[in-house]
């Protein structure tokens, strides 16, 4: 997979779906993302962004998650 065809969660528009490819970097934030179910292979859908533009809400199988754009940018996805 070429890097330039990858998007991050922030690139998704409401209603668009993607599959998690990789999480950039390591550290507590990355670990938190993984603990909350954002792991390679997970399918997610962009729901909406907050009234003031940030954070974002995404849907994973069975639950909804909110995260800031700065955190969403760490998650590389393959758009469906």
Partner 1 sequence: MSGMITIALAGNPNAGKTTIFNNLTGSHQHVGNYPGVTVEKKEGKVRFRDYQITVIDLPGTYSLTAYSPEEVVARNVLLEEDIDIVVNIVDATNIERNLILTTQLMELGAPLVIALNMVDMSLEQGISIDLQLFSQLLGVQVVPVVGRKNTGTTELLEAVVRNFEERTGLPEKYLRYSEDIETQLREIANTLPEELYKNKKRSESLQRWISIKLLENDRDVVKRIEAASQSGIIMEQVKKSRSMLQQKYGQEPEMTIVEGRYAFVRGACREAVSLPAVERVTTTDKIDRFILHRVLGLPVFLVIMWLLFQMTFTLGTPPMEWIDAGITRLGEYLGRLLPDGLLKSLLIDGVIGGVGGVIVFLPNIMFLFLGISFLEATGYMARAAFVTDKMMHVVGLHGKSFIPLILGFGCSIPAIMATRTLENARDRLATILIIPLMSCGARLPVYTLLTAAFFDKKIAGNILFSVYLAGIILAMIMAKLFRTLLLPGQSEPFVMELPAYRLPTLKSVVIQMWIRAWHYLMKAGTVILAASVIIWTLFTFPLYGPHGMPHPDPNSRMEQSYAGKIGRLIEPVIKPLGFDWKTGIALLAGFSAKEVVVSTLGTLYSIEDIESLKEGEENAAASFAERVKEQSGYTPLVAYVLMLFVLLYVPCLATVVIVYRETNSWKWPLFLVLYTLVLAWVISFAVYRTGLLLQIGG
| Residues at the site binding partner 1, with contacts judged by CB under 8 A | 23, 26, 28-29, 31-37, 39-41, 47-55, 57, 60-68, 71
Report, in Å, the least distance between residue 9 CB and partner 1: 11
Report, in Å, the least distance between residue 60 CB and partner 1: 7
Report, in Å, the least distance between residue 1 CB and partner 1: 13
> What does the chain come to in residues?
80
* Contact indicator for 74, 30 with CB cutoff of 8 Å: yes
Cβ-based nearer residue to partner 1, 49 or 78: 49
Cβ-based nearer residue to partner 1, 5 or 25: 25
- The DSSP string of 4-67 is GG-EEGGGPPTT-EEEEEEE-S-SHHHHHHHHTT--TT-EEEEEEE-TTS-SEEEEETTEEEEE
């Amino acid at each position: 997979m070429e890097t330039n065809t990858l998007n991050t969660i922030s690139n998704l528009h409401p209603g668009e779906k993607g599959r998690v490819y990789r999480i950039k970097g390591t550290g507590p934030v990355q670990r938190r993302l993984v603990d909350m179910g954002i792991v390679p292979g997970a399918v997610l859908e962009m729901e909406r962004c907050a009234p003031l533009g940030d954070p974002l809400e995404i849907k994973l199988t069975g639950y909804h998650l909110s995260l800031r754009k700065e955190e969403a940018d760490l998650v590389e996805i393959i758009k469906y």
